Copies of this chain bind each other. A is one copy, B any other.
Amino acid sequence: MSAIPLSSYARRLGLAVPIIQAPMAGSQAGALAAAVMGAGALGSLPAALLAPAALREETLAVRAAARGPLNLNFFAHRPPAPDPAREAAWRAALRPYYEEFGLDVAAIPEGPGRRPFDDEACGLVEALRPEVVSFHFGLPDRALLERVRRTGAQVWSTATTVAEARALAAQGVDAVIAQGAEAGGHRGMFLDEDPATQVGTMALVPQVVAAVDVPVIAAGGIADARGVAAALALGAAAVQVGTAFLLCPEATTSAVHRAALKSDAGQVTALTNLFSGRPARGIVNRVMRELGPMSALAPAFPLASGAIAPLRAAAEKQGRGDFSPLWAGQNVSGCREAPAAQIVAELVRGVWPQA
């Protein structure tokens, strides 16, 4: 058994191993990023659910705890126009659950709406100087993107199809994350809206590698050293791993989420739009079985989250994840209650196959 190869791009990033810790909003902050950075991998901080002050604080904490490159990850969606009729239909669909939990539907606020990358976030990037800035759901407007570029950060975004990879390369990204359909959490799709045509990692990565001239980072279903070796064989310069870190003590994964990952139910995931309005892969739970997993009633991203949030909170109080987004990819076999540094070490441990 020989050592895992380090691509020139991974070397250029200053990595000791070709592993990117996937940003996982809601399941991690700085502690996970710092832990993987300590093991030579690239740490990521997801900004989607953090206020700017919290993002700054987490970034500074990571910098104090670990050396090496850090990725700040932002959503680059276009906020939708509110649609009262659709919101009302969505709440009507959820009404039986409100009644079951004794919740007052009139008291449920509008969804908070995750903010896309904007002037304030860009100012943070300019101040914090992360080595990598990655985007999900496309790229921000040209002016903001130029400001990010001028910080010297590597700019990445996610492609779920060859067409999306080409579009990102045409806009000058430094690397494309090829997100296979196996990946947990939100699909990065921005040209396509149809989850039925999303492409698996084995098919997507080599086609993206052939289509673009920039390094390709493989994501989706990669949970152990075999998967890392396979992704590199497909031509990836590095591998992005998320799910395998969800049970780490450094992650902030909720109790119901951890329990689901450890259960037999954790083996079965599907793409669902019920929790945010965009397709995302999570462990199949009650609301996904009963209303979806995909539903035309869910308001546009990120508005669907508002009305379902009180159900999530009420169910979680009872120890149940029936209304929680239990994000996970299609390979939870790498999840272990072990320090993130150990997960990183095992991902690159001597399974590079011999010819």
Binding site for B on A (CB under 8 A): 2-5, 161-163, 180-182, 194, 196-197, 199-204, 206-207, 209-210, 220-224, 226-227, 229-235, 267-271, 284, 293-294, 329-331, 333, 351-355
A238–B32 CA distance with the chains assembled, in angstroms? 37
A181-B181, A203-B331 known; A353-B5 Cβ under 8 A: yes
Closest Cβ of chain B to A211, distance in Å, is: 9
A227–B331 CA distance with the chains assembled, in angstroms? 19
Q: Which residues of B contact A226 (CB under 8 A)?
A: 206, 209, 233-235
Q: Which residues of B contact A197 (CB under 8 A)?
A: 268-270, 284
Asked if B355 and A200 make an inter-chain contact with CB atoms under 8 angstroms apart, the answer reads: no
Asked if B196 and A222 make an inter-chain contact with CB atoms under 8 angstroms apart, the answer reads: no
Asked if A231 and B206 make an inter-chain contact with CB atoms under 8 angstroms apart, the answer reads: no
Asked if B333 and A206 make an inter-chain contact with CB atoms under 8 angstroms apart, the answer reads: yes
Q: Which residues of B contact A331 (CB under 8 A)?
A: 202-203, 206-207
Asked if A180 and B162 make an inter-chain contact with CB atoms under 8 angstroms apart, the answer reads: no
Identify 11 residue pairs between A and B in the complex whose beta-carbon atoms are under 8 Å apart, listed by A's number. A163-B267, A181-B181, A194-B270, A197-B268, A200-B220, A201-B201, A202-B230, A207-B333, A226-B235, A229-B233, A230-B233
Q: Which residues of B contact A351 (CB under 8 A)?
A: 233
Q: Which residues of B contact A352 (CB under 8 A)?
A: 233, 355
Q: Apart from A196-B270, A204-B330, A207-B331, list 8 A-B contacts with CB within 8 A.
A: A5-B353, A197-B284, A200-B200, A200-B202, A200-B221, A202-B231, A229-B230, A233-B353
Asked if A202 and B224 make an inter-chain contact with CB atoms under 8 angstroms apart, the answer reads: no
Asked if A200 and B227 make an inter-chain contact with CB atoms under 8 angstroms apart, the answer reads: no
Partner of A330 from the list B4, B203, B210 (CB cut-off 8 Å) is B203
Q: Which residues of B contact A182 (CB under 8 A)?
A: 199-200, 202-203
Closest Cβ of chain B to A287, distance in Å, is: 14
Q: Which residues of B contact A206 (CB under 8 A)?
A: 223-224, 226-227, 331, 333
Nearest chain B residue, comparing its CB with the CB of A200: B200
Asked if B202 and A221 make an inter-chain contact with CB atoms under 8 angstroms apart, the answer reads: yes
Partner of A329 from the list B5, B203, B231 (CB cut-off 8 Å) is B203
Partner of A196 from the list B2, B4, B210, B271 (CB cut-off 8 Å) is B271
Nearest chain B residue, comparing its CB with the CB of A331: B203
Q: Which residues of B contact A4 (CB under 8 A)?
A: 355
Q: Which residues of B contact A204 (CB under 8 A)?
A: 221, 330
Asked if B203 and A221 make an inter-chain contact with CB atoms under 8 angstroms apart, the answer reads: yes
Nearest chain B residue, comparing its CB with the CB of A2: B355
Partner of A231 from the list B230, B293, B330 (CB cut-off 8 Å) is B230
A165–B163 CA distance with the chains assembled, in angstroms? 34
Closest Cβ of chain B to A216, distance in Å, is: 12
Nearest chain B residue, comparing its CB with the CB of A222: B202
The 6 A-B residue pairs with the shortest CB-CB distance, nearest first, are A203-B221, A200-B200, A203-B330, A2-B355, A202-B221, A230-B230
A162–B264 CA distance with the chains assembled, in angstroms? 11
Residue among A181, A233, A270, A329 with the highest chain B CB neighbour number at 10 A: A233
Q: Which residues of B contact A203 (CB under 8 A)?
A: 182, 201, 220-221, 223, 329-331
Closest Cβ of chain B to A326, distance in Å, is: 14
Q: Which residues of B contact A5 (CB under 8 A)?
A: 353-355
A353–B355 CA distance with the chains assembled, in angstroms? 8
Q: Which residues of B contact A201 (CB under 8 A)?
A: 200-203
